Amino acid sequence: MKKKLVLCTQIPEKRIQEIERFCDITIAGELKHGKGNVTEKMVREECKGFEMVVLGDENAKADTLNEWVESGMKFIGVAKGTPVTVDNEVLKAAGIPLSYTPGRNRAAVAEFNLGLMIAVARKLTLSAIGLAKGEHVGEPMDDIYDVPDVKNVTFGPLDEKHPFMDYGIGFELYGKKLGIAGYGAIGREVAVRAKAFGMEILAYDPYISSEVIEKDGGRAVDLNTMLAESDIISLHLPVIEATKAMVNKEWFSKMKPTAYLINTARAAVIDQKDFVEALQNREIAGAAIDVYWKEPVPSNHPLLKMRNVVCTPHMAGLTTDVDNWSGEMMSEEMLAYIRGEKRKYIWKR
């Protein structure tokens, strides 16, 4: 007899065909109604009465989970890197492990992270926005294709009108020290890619052995060493009680005044007021951030107006490839459950 499975997130077609041999599949949640178009009440009703429930971004708090457990749920998966949308305490009490997809977007975030580093190091967004606004451009031409035969084409002499004097001259990543705060799946991917740029890696993570870090070509250091020596610090910390507002004025006071902070993790790990003041007072040189304490970020947030800050709207973790990676991982979890095998991706917190 086939198992009853309700699916709210994308799974590769090849895996669907494999799972259909064992399960009757019902589509629900955002997979049925579209991103952002479901409430917890809708999901609670649609997913009730299934042995297997697989969620994406849908919320499932205590009342919802208890209702599902009572109606026969024995497997639940959340296709997220951090399944905070589900109350795991209820599941632990019911003896139901929570499958998730750690590191599903690690390549996406790591690549974006390197992009932010280059953006702050080479003044990319500042100069690109400046040109788009009409800064440091020449007079209009009747025929833009009628150009003089000049071999060394430049923006002119290095005087007060030159873009370098306005936006600043950037620096190379090559030879710089990159501090990685949190050497999990994404932190490691950033470190490996940064090594290819010729950066020296200083990794701080009290839960990861120095052997693991050194095997990747990095150096395991304590927090104070990372803060004092790094030219760029990249945050890859989960939001738990111990890390909330951990990045504060004490951190900034120990960083180089020429250092930059990159955050593609969660804003809650940074003390917002201390961060704004450190940037305004130039305690640190600048920052690049993709996440905020309230999203969408308020239009009057001071970070949006700072010339030493690159801001992006929470884009690092989403690519056209991410759903495929998370779908593959969740498929492995579902098939392991169906076959009575040990699962690899169980949420421990």
Secondary structure, 3-state, 130-181: HHHCCCCCCCCCCCCCCCCCCCCCCCCCCCCCCHHHHHCCCCCCCCCEEEEE
Q: If you average pLDDT over residues 168-182, what whole number do you get? A: 97
> Among candidates 105, 102, 104, 98, which has minimal Cα distance to 337?
98
Higher pLDDT, 320 or 71: 71
Does 156 score more than 90 pLDDT? no
Q: Output the pLDDT for position 160.
A: 84
In angstroms, the CA 82 to CA 80 distance is: 5
Q: If you average pLDDT over residues 90-112, what whole number do you get? A: 95
Q: Where are the domains of the chain?
A: 3-104+321-339, 106-122+170-311
The model's pTM:
0.85
Q: Output the pLDDT for position 62.
A: 97
Evaluate whether 25 touches 73 at the Cβ level (below 8 Å): no
Does 123 score more than 90 pLDDT? yes
Backbone angles phi, psi at 323, to 5 degrees: -60, -35
Of the pLDDT bands very low, low, confident and very high (cuts 50, 70, 90), residue 250 is: very high
Work out the angle at residue 261's Cα, subtended by the Cα atoms of residues 225 and 319, and round it to the nearest 5 degrees: 125
Evaluate whether 91 touches 112 at the Cβ level (below 8 Å): no
Q: Output the pLDDT for position 159.
A: 87
Element spanning 189, H or E: helix 185-196
> Among candidates 9, 11, 17, which has minimal Cα distance to 57?
9
Handedness of CA 46, 48, 49, 53 (dihedral sign): positive
Q: Output the pLDDT for position 335.
A: 97
Specify the pairing of strand 219-220 against strand 232-235: unpaired
Element spanning 225, H or E: helix 223-229
Specify the pairing of strand 3-7 against strand 52-55: parallel
Cis amide linkage into residue 102, ω under 30° from 0: no
- CATH fold for domain 3-104+321-339: Rossmann fold (3.40.50)
Of the pLDDT bands very low, low, confident and very high (cuts 50, 70, 90), residue 349 is: confident
Q: If you average pLDDT over residues 290-303, what whole number do you get? A: 98
In angstroms, the CA 77 to CA 345 distance is: 9
> Among candidates 47, 113, 103, which has minimal Cα distance to 80?
103
In angstroms, the CA 142 to CA 145 distance is: 9
Q: If you average pLDDT over residues 315-319, what whole number do you get? A: 93
Does 161 score more than 90 pLDDT? no
Residue entry with tokens 């020429």: 258
CATH architecture observed for domain 106-122+170-311: 3-Layer(aba) Sandwich (3.40)
Does 170 score more than 90 pLDDT? yes
For 348, counting Cβ atoms within 10 Å of its Cβ (0-12 exposed, 13-18 middle, 19+ buried), the class is exposed
Q: Output the pLDDT for position 272.
A: 98
Beta pairing partners, 200: 177
Same fold, 3-104+321-339 and 106-122+170-311: yes
Q: Output the pLDDT for position 103.
A: 86
Q: Tens of pLDDT along 10-21?
A: 999 999 999 999
Q: Output the pLDDT for position 162.
A: 92
Does 2 score more than 90 pLDDT? yes
- Residues recognised as catalytic: 266, 295, 314
Q: If you average pLDDT over residues 256-261, what whole number do you get? A: 98
Of the pLDDT bands very low, low, confident and very high (cuts 50, 70, 90), residue 45 is: very high
In angstroms, the CA 25 to CA 22 distance is: 9
Q: Tens of pLDDT along 183-241?
A: 998 999 999 999 999 999 999 999 999 999 999 999 999 999 999 999 999 999 988 89
Does 82 score more than 90 pLDDT? no
